[in-house]
Amino acid sequence: MFLPFQPGPPLDQQEIEKILALYDAKIHDHDFYLGQLINFLQNHGLWEKTLLILSADHGEEFYDHQGWGHGHSLYQELIHVPLVMSNAGFLPRGVRIKSPVSLVDLMPTLLSLLDLKPKFEFSYSLEGIDLKDMITHSPLASRQKPIFAELTQGNQKAYTLIDDPWKLIKIIFNGQEHVFLYNLNRDPAEKNDLARLYPQKKEELLGRLESIIARAQKKVFKSLHRRLGKKEKEKLRSLGYIR
């Protein structure tokens, strides 16, 4: 699958409902164990000392755009994931940031909230931004940078730029470039492509998207090599990363 040009196999309504039920059951399962974790922290006097973050690396599609699963498109059902942060000690309760944010904002935000400095200097500017001020003082403020995401399947590529409420998707499929434009406020399901109706907005966002792609391609990351200590190996082994 690579949407919207390679849809998934057809599923009848009964099959879709079965998959949804299985997904709901898994959410209930995670919710139960999350509750167990929170109860443990509270019962051991650790809750106010803990910063809990709940998020996901991707969403799931249930035939919203003729596909199912994940990894085949940049529509909202796959890239709009939860980001919940909770700490009874220093985070305000009940705050909901209005503007879309990105998972790349997590690192600079955590460094700021916990007053930490990285052990190394960055040789490049971070794409993420510090959300501390939005969390503590200005939840209605807008994120100062547009949101960027990309997807690659072999020679097929997709890129998206979100500048609330606008979302542009650029797809390279079989060597051909296709551009789609959506207004997420008026069309959250992304059913109405507005690229022809708003050519100036399309070109503006496309130019900004191309700049981000070009900037990313110029970044060079130096690899680091060092020997792992015994404790580090034990931690990685306990997580299943090494044997």
CB 16 within 8 A of CB 64: no
**Distance between CA 85 and CA 136 in Å, rounded?**
12
Q: Quick one: which H or E segment has residue 235? A: helix 230-238
Convert the pLDDT of each residue in 15-71 to its tens digit. 999 999 999 999 999 999 999 999 999 999 999 899 999 999 999 999 999 998 999
Return the pLDDT at 123: 53
Angstrom CA distances, 96 to 9, 82, 156, stand at 38, 12, 36
Vertex 118 angle, CA 80 and 235, to 5°: 75
Q: Is the pLDDT confidence value at 188 over 60?
A: yes
Residue that is written with structure tokens 């990363």 in the block? 241
Return the pLDDT at 121: 67
Return the pLDDT at 124: 60
DSSP 59-101: --EESTTS-EESSS--SHHHH---EEEE-TTTSPTT----S--
Q: Is the pTM of this model over 0.75?
A: yes
Return the pLDDT at 241: 85
CB 99 within 8 A of CB 134: yes
Q: Please, what are the domains in the chain?
A: 13-238 (3.40.720.10)
Convert the pLDDT of each residue in 3-14 to its tens digit. 999 999 888 899
The pair of three-digit structure tokens given for residue 93, joined into one six-digit string: 């309760």
**Distance between CA 51 and CA 73 in Å, rounded?**
32
Convert the pLDDT of each residue in 158-180 to its tens digit. 999 999 999 999 999 999 999 99
The pair of three-digit structure tokens given for residue 193, joined into one six-digit string: 């492509």
Predicted confidence band of residue 216 (pLDDT cuts 50, 70, 90): confident
In sign, the C-alpha dihedral spanning 225, 226, 230, 235 is negative
Strands (E), 129-229: 147-153, 156-163, 166-173, 176-183
Which amino acid is present at 117? K
Q: Is the pLDDT confidence value at 74 over 60?
A: yes
Convert the pLDDT of each residue in 100-115 to its tens digit. 999 999 999 999 998 8
